[in-house]
Structure 1
Amino acid sequence: MPKNLGFENVKTLPAYLEKDYSDLGDYLKFHFDEVGYGVHTFRASALDYELLVTRDPENARAIFQTNSQDFEISPYQKDIWSPLLGDGIFTAQGDAWKHSRQLLRPQFSRDQISDLDLEEEHVQSLLNLPHLKAHTDGWTNSLDLAPLFLNLTMDVATEFLYGRSVNSQALSNTADGVENQKHFAYHLEAGKSWLYTKGLFGKWNRLIRSAGFTRHCNEVHRFVDELVKFRLNAPPSSKFESESSKPNRFFLLDELANYTQNPLELRNETLQLLNAGRDTTGALLGWVFYHLARHNRVFTKLRSIILQDFGNDRTGEISFQKLKSCEYLNHVIQEVLRVAAVVPVNERFATSATMLPRGGGPDGSQPIFVPKGMRILMANYAMQQREDLWGPDVKEFKPERWEEKNSGFEFLPFGAGRRKCIGQQFALTETAYVVVRFLQRFDGLESVDSEEVFFQYIFSNRSGRGVKVRLHEASVNNSV
């Protein structure tokens, strides 16, 4: 197996700087393709420790399934995340993780995520924003959809979690009794930027200190604590009432409060879910429209299918089952997840000496020894760009490939095994719903950004240049 094809190899530095990478997933792909000469597993030096980096599906299978007992999340993840996001499902290990999983998993059952009235209210708020008003020629002004989608997913996530949306799409940007959402979002984003920096230093992360980071953490905690306090102190008669127009709507905080009244535990678990639910879904929506704007054939085909399956009634009922059965819509989302990889890298830590099935020997096809304590980076994005796995058209945005493709461990957009993302169906359902509503209303979508794709990674992979487009509104009677 090639060794030290990693971050200290000075030969890679000029190419790295020339490419201006801000996404670890894209950087690892660069290493595999340009430095590793086609290998799929290598060791990389970082500071005073070694990493094992792999884009081999058989190694992914071993890490997440067959040998999963030998791997855990990094022991440094708790140190890095907990000052901002607390101790919850994404940082816990062992019995603490089992407790969090058992507490949260039932809340993402099909019955809960298939209530699409919540989506409808917030999507209509988005579509009614002045940014999306068309001129007499039918076209909107040029706009950046990326922040609008992040606001949308923030509103949906906060109402699903707390029963109270922060209403980030409203002009007032306020919610009674809590800080301005923009203020909260600023501190959350700034805090996560620090987490990313700390994460790069691994076991040395505690050396990275900032008074500003502490302030960001305090503001985020204060915001969520107010939401938790409001629900815990609510009278029984209003316990299960949300701000929505639908009475007795499910929201997660009240369900969790049946099992614990500990405000710190409630803050930690819901804050970790809020961070994941808002960011990954918002980023995924951005990438969907980023690629639809650049691939008119796909946009036209998808819109035709959506009008056929859902009609052109812009407020007509959309069912969970219909979203799941619209194959081309789901293929488009899968292809976006392949080419953009919202989660481009997964990290694991060897809890005992073990083996991975591939990476050793002169051609990398033999097993490889993994010592206890080694960090492993599962390079999802790089794996999803392998020509030998995906065909000679791997660089093309081609949803049709999924008509015949039965993916295995070469495609892990939401992880795999016991730590697979519990919110997968929630994210996919929200994404599909938004796409349907947008394409019912708009029959034209054009990119106004001629620059090549630029990845920006802060726990989720976003377009570093936003999603700059303009849209053409269909006539009310347009069904084609």
Structure 2
Amino acid sequence: MPVPAVPSKGFLGLIRLLDVLKATREERGPQQFVDAMDELGGKGVFHTSRVESMKSVPIGLGLFTLRGEPWRHSRAVLRPQFSREQISDLELQERHVDALTTSLRTGSDGWTNVVDLQPMFFKMTLELMTEFLYGQSPAQAGQETGALNTQEFGHHFDAGKVWINIRSALGKWHWLVQPPAFSRDCKKVHRYVDYFVKAKLEKGGEQSAKQQMPHDMPKREKFVLLDELATRTRNPLEIRSETLNILAAGRDTTASLLGWLFYFFSRSPRIYDKLRTAILADFGTEASGVDFAKLRSCRYLQSCINEALRMTAIVPILERESLEDTVLPRGGGPDGSKPVFVRKGQRVLISTYALQQRSDLWGDDFESFRPERWDNRNAGLEFVPFGAGPRKCVGQQFALTEASVSHF
């Protein structure tokens, strides 16, 4: 059977487009997607999009925007950056978490003042990922030059994403939206990364980031993506795009996850107290007792993280493209139980948010933050916060480790 399609509303589908943009502005985009599908009777609905609308994105061509052989090459280059050896060394995460906690002011009563943690999480994850990918943090590189303004990067990157959403929603009409503001946002984002790329190419690809570290930092031989790329190509645009793909993902997803975790904890003192008790029981009062293996074995901490990922779906929609004409076993017919034909080149949007909010999979309390639902549960494909298959997020364990360390 042919695939069911999203019906247009208004001239060129502008009414549906405006609905999507309004929901995005009000920060309820994933729920709007679910509501739209419910409006269509709960059917599996396929929506086509065009990669051309994404070609001018700030992050350029890299792991998340390439397909086919170029994508396989990109993933192979990136894989050592996220090896078990790399992510099990917690010194980097601990140092940046310590910097965040040190910046919190304590009042005379011994408690920290009321503060908006979300911008601090985004700043921390950006600086951590910068050092992870480029071998040095903005502060180490000399932020007084003005070239590495993390706040400016964040502002223009977030503004650029708004334009990307608009262009993507327009599909084949994306070329109608190319405002000067979008170009300006892209340039500011590129400027941040170009600082590191230019410095590396000028000094030579053979110089490792370890040589640029301050004298008081541990002398470890680590894989640094910038160093590796500089030995493979002298094209600054290619290096910028490859690293910026990972930098952007590492900043946004982990910062969002941390924000949601603390949001849920603030509304459930019982869960927070239970987590605190579990952490003290497993690790004691000294942070020196924390290591990668113990983090993974702290079951209630991992349950809290999994539940936040389930509730919020940090990446609420995944996209897959059919490489050849194929037939899916379900999705067609009035009730979605019949096979459905997907032609070569057609893209399928998968709402992980909707998948992880289904009462038949998660129980009638699926809207409640309840980490205990993960007791003795090994989730399958009903829980895919980092995707699944060959394109599963290569940085999954790094993100989970960073989120775990941030609770100490």
**TM > 0.5 fold call:** yes
Aligned residue number for residue 211 of structure 2 = 241
Aligned match of 1:209 in 178, 183, 198? 178
Aligned match of 1:24 in 29, 40, 50? 29
Check the 8 A contact 2:23/2:29 in 1, yes or no.
Answer: no
1:119 and 2:83 aligned:
no
Aligned residue number for residue 8 of structure 1 = 9
Aligned residue number for residue 44 of structure 2 = 41
Q: Aligned equivalents of 1:81 and 1:430: distance in 2?
A: 30
Structure 1 residue 346 displacement after superposition = 0.9
Q: Aligned equivalents of 2:171 and 2:17: distance in 1?
A: 21
Q: Aligned equivalents of 1:177 and 1:432: distance in 2?
A: 32
Structure 1 residue 246 displacement after superposition = 2.0
Check the 8 A contact 2:53/2:167 in 1, yes or no.
Answer: no
Q: Aligned ranges for residues 242-391 of structure 1 at < 5 Å?
A: 242-243=212-213, 245-248=217-220, 250=222, 251-313=224-286, 315-391=287-363
1:416 and 2:388 aligned:
yes
Structure 1 residue 206 displacement after superposition = 1.8
Counterpart of 1:205 in structure 2: which amino acid?
A: H
Structure 1 residue 426 displacement after superposition = 0.7
Check the 8 A contact 1:159/1:242 in 2, yes or no.
Answer: no
Q: Aligned equivalents of 1:319 and 1:362: distance in 2?
A: 52
User: Higher mean Cα deviation, 114-123 or 400-409?
Assistant: 400-409
Structure 1 residue 78 displacement after superposition = 5.6
Q: Aligned equivalents of 1:23 and 1:237: distance in 2?
A: 46
Aligned residue number for residue 448 of structure 1 = none
Aligned residue number for residue 196 of structure 1 = 165
Aligned residue number for residue 402 of structure 1 = 374
Q: Aligned equivalents of 1:128 and 1:434: distance in 2?
A: 13
Structure 1 residue 356 displacement after superposition = 1.7
Structure 1 residue 81 displacement after superposition = 4.5
Q: Aligned equivalents of 1:15 and 1:180: distance in 2?
A: 34
Deviations 1:341-381 (A, max 9, x none): 10001122334332222222343222222234433210110
Aligned match of 1:183 in 143, 152, 155? 152
Structure 1 residue 92 displacement after superposition = 1.1
Q: Aligned equivalents of 1:388 and 1:173: distance in 2?
A: 53
Pick closer, same or farther for the CA change 1:159–1:254 going to 2, 3 Å: same
Check the 8 A contact 1:173/1:181 in 2, yes or no.
Answer: no
Secondary structure class of the residue paired with 2:348: strand
Pick closer, same or farther for the CA change 1:81–1:166 going to 2, 3 Å: farther
Structure 1 residue 290 displacement after superposition = 0.9
Q: Aligned equivalents of 2:150 and 2:290: distance in 1?
A: 29
Check the 8 A contact 2:138/2:148 in 1, yes or no.
Answer: no
Check the 8 A contact 1:84/1:191 in 2, yes or no.
Answer: yes
Deviations 1:406-452 (A, max 9, x none): 211111101111111101011000000002x1xxxxxxxxxxxxxxx
Aligned match of 2:67 in 77, 83, 93? 93
Structure 1 residue 166 displacement after superposition = 1.8
Counterpart of 2:71 in structure 1: which amino acid?
A: W
Q: Percent same amino acid at aligned positions?
A: 45
User: Higher mean Cα deviation, 426-435 or 15-24?
Assistant: 15-24
Structure 1 residue 84 displacement after superposition = 1.6
Check the 8 A contact 1:82/1:91 in 2, yes or no.
Answer: no
Secondary structure class of the residue paired with 1:385: coil
Secondary structure class of the residue paired with 1:143: coil
Secondary structure class of the residue paired with 1:388: helix
Secondary structure class of the residue paired with 2:219: coil
User: Higher mean Cα deviation, 138-147 or 301-310?
Assistant: 138-147
Q: Aligned ranges for residues 51-200 of structure 1 at < 5 Å?
A: 51=47, 76-77=50-51, 79-129=53-103, 132-167=104-139, 174=143, 176=145, 178-200=147-169
1:229 and 2:198 aligned:
yes
Check the 8 A contact 2:61/2:242 in 1, yes or no.
Answer: yes
Q: Aligned equivalents of 1:80 and 1:13: distance in 2?
A: 17
User: Higher mean Cα deviation, 100-109 or 5-14?
Assistant: 5-14
User: Higher mean Cα deviation, 220-229 or 21-30?
Assistant: 21-30
Structure 1 residue 41 displacement after superposition = 1.1
Structure 1 residue 401 displacement after superposition = 1.0
Structure 1 residue 40 displacement after superposition = 4.6
Aligned residue number for residue 61 of structure 1 = none
Check the 8 A contact 1:177/1:226 in 2, yes or no.
Answer: no
Secondary structure class of the residue paired with 1:369: strand
Counterpart of 2:79 in structure 1: which amino acid?
A: R
Counterpart of 1:24 in structure 2: which amino acid?
A: G
Task: Kindly report the root-mean-square deviation, in angstroms, between the aligned alpha carbons of the 2 structures.
Answer: 2.9
Pick closer, same or farther for the CA change 1:296–1:36 going to 2, 3 Å: farther
Aligned length in residues:
399
Check the 8 A contact 1:173/1:182 in 2, yes or no.
Answer: no
* Higher strand fraction (1 or 2): 1
**Superposition TM-score, scaled by structure 1 size:** 0.76
Q: Aligned equivalents of 2:51 and 2:405: distance in 1?
A: 33
Check the 8 A contact 1:174/1:181 in 2, yes or no.
Answer: no
Q: Aligned equivalents of 2:369 and 2:244: distance in 1?
A: 34
Deviations 1:184-209 (A, max 9, x none): 22222222221122111122212211
Structure 1 residue 174 displacement after superposition = 2.2
Pick closer, same or farther for the CA change 1:237–1:106 going to 2, 3 Å: closer
